[in-house]
Amino acid sequence: MALRKRRLSYTMKKSLHILTVRSSALLALLLILCLQATCCCAETPETSMPFSIEAMLAANSKEMVLSRHESISCTLERPFAGDFSFYCDREIYLEADPEKTFMVESGESWYDLNPGGEKKKPATIFFAMPDAERDALIAATPIPTLDVYTTMEEEVQSVTENEDGTLTVVTRLSADQLAARIERNEESFPDEFLGNPAETVYTLDAGTLEVLSIIDSVLVGGEKIIYSNETAVYDASRPECYDRICALRNEFGAAEEGHMRTVTVIYDAGTEAEEIYTFNVNESVLVSPHLKDGYSEERRESFEGNGLGNLTIWAVPAAAETESLKEQ
């Protein structure tokens, strides 16, 4: 009996020792895993927050941004396409680059073709369409922050939640997708960079997904070459160029008798669908019509008159205009 007790005691001690060793090993393994997990999290603190390109686009629509803010101002540095900035509030959209300033206000579009210079060179675009169509078109005009640079084709690589309340989103475009974007945006781009993929890094407000900055880079070998760097400011004041373009509009928006000309736009001339729009403009202002979607200018004719003369523009379906060019 005593021998059995000693054997049982020895067996229990041996089992306890093995269990202790195993427990210690397990504890050490768990500790190592925890440390590894902590290190990984420190390096890439990716978030489980739901994210999609669609949600980002929706959050940065003109309607959503201006429902939360009085205005938005953005500056873009583009080494291969030229820098420009824009400002948008509930009344105007204003875009400026070194060669021109463009403003849309209450349906009127005005250009300053010599921003900051001594020579006054204004131009205007008028909407050759019914007022309701014009108003709907203006209301639907997007803020170009995301409209120009973001596409649904972008593949999300990572979403990281930062301690300062922002998100860092990294997306990727293939070489073909980048080439299509460049062509669509009519950007000047060095030939040696074509055929390479691109990466975009968005910094967003974590709560609203509003864009704070966007950095676009083309990936050439192991190097990232920035081709667009954009920063956004919300509730911004109107820029200085606003006053200049308003002054031009006020000066050239009207003219003395004898210094006006008539511009006529005719849609589908000679058909049952024919529509005619007529505008009186200052003879010193360059003019161009904003046609309805799907139409192009087929030809222009100037008639004898004051200044540059009266102007008639024929608007034809874009397909018909293409066929006309083929016949020529």
Q: Are residues 175 and 268 in the same domain?
A: no
Q: Are residues 230 and 287 in the same domain?
A: no
For residues 199 and 224, what is the distance between their CA atoms, to the nearest angstrom?
8
For residues 60 and 76, what is the distance between their CA atoms, to the nearest angstrom?
17
For residues 182 and 221, what is the distance between their CA atoms, to the nearest angstrom?
20
* More confident position, 7 or 50: 50
Mean local confidence (pLDDT), 257-269: 86
For residues 231 and 75, what is the distance between their CA atoms, to the nearest angstrom?
6
In 3D space, the residue among 110, 125, 118, 120 whose CA is nearest the CA of residue 249 turns out to be: 110
pLDDT at 15: 35
For residues 286 and 320, what is the distance between their CA atoms, to the nearest angstrom?
27
Residue 321 has pLDDT above 60, yes or no: no
Lowest mean pLDDT among 34-38, 67-71, 210-214, 321-325: 34-38
Residue 236 has pLDDT above 90, yes or no: yes
How confident is residue 72, by pLDDT bands cut at 50, 70 and 90? very high
Number of domains in the chain: 2
Mean pLDDT value across the chain:
78
Q: Are residues 133 and 194 in the same domain?
A: yes
Task: Provide the β-strand partners of residue 226.
Answer: 217
Domain span at residue 200? 53-234
CB atoms within 10 A of CB 152: 8
Q: Are residues 59 and 171 in the same domain?
A: yes
Residue 17 has pLDDT above 60, yes or no: no
What is the CATH classification number for the domain harbouring 189?
2.50.20
